[in-house]
Amino acid sequence: NRRLIPAIRESARGELVAVASRSLEAAKAYAEKWNIPLVFGSYEALLASDEVDVVYIPLPNHLHAEWSIKAMRAGKHVLCEKPFVLSLDEMDAVTAVSRETGMVITEAFMYRHHPQTKLVGELVRNGRIGSVTLVRGVFNFAFSSRDNIRLVPEWGGGCLWDVGIYPLSFAQYIMGGPPVRVSGEQWLGDTGVDEVFAGQMIYPNGAIAQITSSFCTPFHTFAEIIGTEGRITIERPFVGIEETTHFHLYPKNGQPEQIPIPPKPLYLGEVEDIHAAILDGAKPYLTLQETRSHVKTALALYQSARTGKTITLS
């Protein structure tokens, strides 16, 4: 929330008008901190307000589908945090309600909208590193406290759902679609959720993606795309992009290149995208079909980690 609020206020066509919490006291405290004019002591009250056109849902993972559906049925468009949902049944239900109501709903993968990610995709699609053979991605961090909703199994906890979904989605973006088979390994912590996850994904052309995520190692993000004519490395592929100014391209022949990153606030792109979808009728940059593939792939990786088997995606 603290990162999205400045992006909403910086956007040309949106306004932050309301906040809701399960208690009015908590909502008032948050509204005072962030100077938000309207306050609601329940989610239902916010959805009933005519002052609100779009809602952002950053709730625990297991509540995403329920409140996305309630919001759309109340006539609100939705920007929903990743992971979008926790099952394909939930995914299909959310998609059906979006079609039924005409409400826009999209997954809040902010890095996908950033110029760095789009520029990397253009370089790959323009053949600068030849045919992609391998994508590697990492997103690790360590908790400061074990009292964290990400460690609750019933709430969709686990590092793959929370941060591993970033390199998973990045691989899908670079590869142009979902994998055909996956294998996963996980280390379960004392609450029963994966606190370390490693996955491998095989794509229709034989290309491979390898992803790792963790809740118990120091912060580290990295992505690398290896092709037949070179490779691209990205130090900050998912978060903290504003803290760096370039990524690197290493051609097969010639000198390494520092590719400048066009500056843009990390969260602004996803806000502008949903505004364009609502106000202009534009197609959301991140489609529900792409989001369904994210969920399907994550579920297959978890199945592989539980069973010790390679899972083929239909």
Read off the pLDDT of residues 103-139 as tens digits, 9 standing for 90 and up: 999 999 999 999 999 999 999 999 999 999 999 999 9
Give the rounded percent of residues in the chain with a pLDDT score beyond 90: 98
Same structural domain for residues 211 and 71? no
Question: Residue 258's pLDDT band (boundaries 50, 70, 90)?
Answer: very high
The DSSP bridge partners found for residue 137 are: 211, 223
pLDDT at position 212 over 80: yes
Q: Which of 70, 76, 82, 296 is catalytic?
A: 82
| 271 found inside a domain | no
Q: What is the mean pLDDT of residues 281-289?
A: 97
Domains held by the chain: number: 2
250 and 133 inside one domain: yes
Taking residues 185-192, report their average pLDDT: 97
Confidence of residue 74 (pLDDT cuts 50, 70, 90): very high
Say whether both 300 and 157 belong to one domain: yes
Q: 101 with 39, same domain?
A: yes
Residue 248: strand pairing partners: 233, 258
Domain span at residue 146?
111-262+285-312
pLDDT tens per residue, range 156-168: 999 999 999 999 9
Residue 46 banded pLDDT, cuts 50, 70, 90: very high
The whole-number pLDDT of residue 229 equals 98
**What is the arithmetic mean of pLDDT over 66-87?**
98
Q: What is the mean pLDDT of residues 269-281?
A: 98
Per-residue confidence band for 1, with pLDDT thresholds at 50, 70 and 90:
confident
Residues 156 and 10 reside in one and the same domain: no
Nearest to 22 by CA among 59, 49, 62, 77: 59
* Mean pLDDT calculated for residue range 43-71: 98
Cβ neighbours of residue 187 closer than 8 Å, sequence gap 6 or more = 194, 195, 196, 197
Using 50, 70 and 90 to split pLDDT, how confident is the model at 73? very high
Q: Over 90: is that where the pLDDT of 314 sits?
A: no
CATH number at residue 38: 3.40.50.720
Given 64, 86, 110, the domain boundary residue is 110
What is the rounded CA–CA span in Å between residue 242 and residue 240?
A: 5
**CA-only gyration radius of the chain, Å:** 20
Is 300 in the same domain as 159? yes
- Whichever domain contains 248, its CATH number is 3.30.360.10
Q: Is residue 277 part of a domain?
A: no
For residue 195, give the nearest of 211, 207, 213, 178 by alpha carbon.
213
Whether 37 maps to a domain, the answer reads yes
pLDDT of res. 271: 98
- Residues 151 and 28 occupy one common structural domain: no
Residue 9 in any domain: the answer is yes
- Residues 68 and 132 reside in one and the same domain: no
Q: What was the pLDDT predicted at 301?
A: 98
Calculate what percentage of the chain has a pLDDT beyond 70.
Answer: 100
In a domain, residue 276? The reply is no
User: What letter represents residue 205's amino acid?
Assistant: N
Considering the entire predicted model, what is its pTM?
0.96
Rounded mean pLDDT, 85-110: 98
Same structural domain, 249 and 164: yes
Q: Which token pair is 210?
A: 């390898």
Q: Considering the domain boundaries, does residue 57 fall inside one? A: yes
**Confidence (pLDDT) at 267:** 97
Residue 309 appears among annotated catalytic residues: no
| Segment 131-158 mean pLDDT | 96
Domain boundary among 69, 93, 110: 110
- Provide the mean pLDDT of the chain: 97
Question: What number is the average pLDDT over the span 10-25?
Answer: 97
Q: Are 198 and 217 in contact (CB under 8 A)?
A: no
pLDDT of residue 2: 87
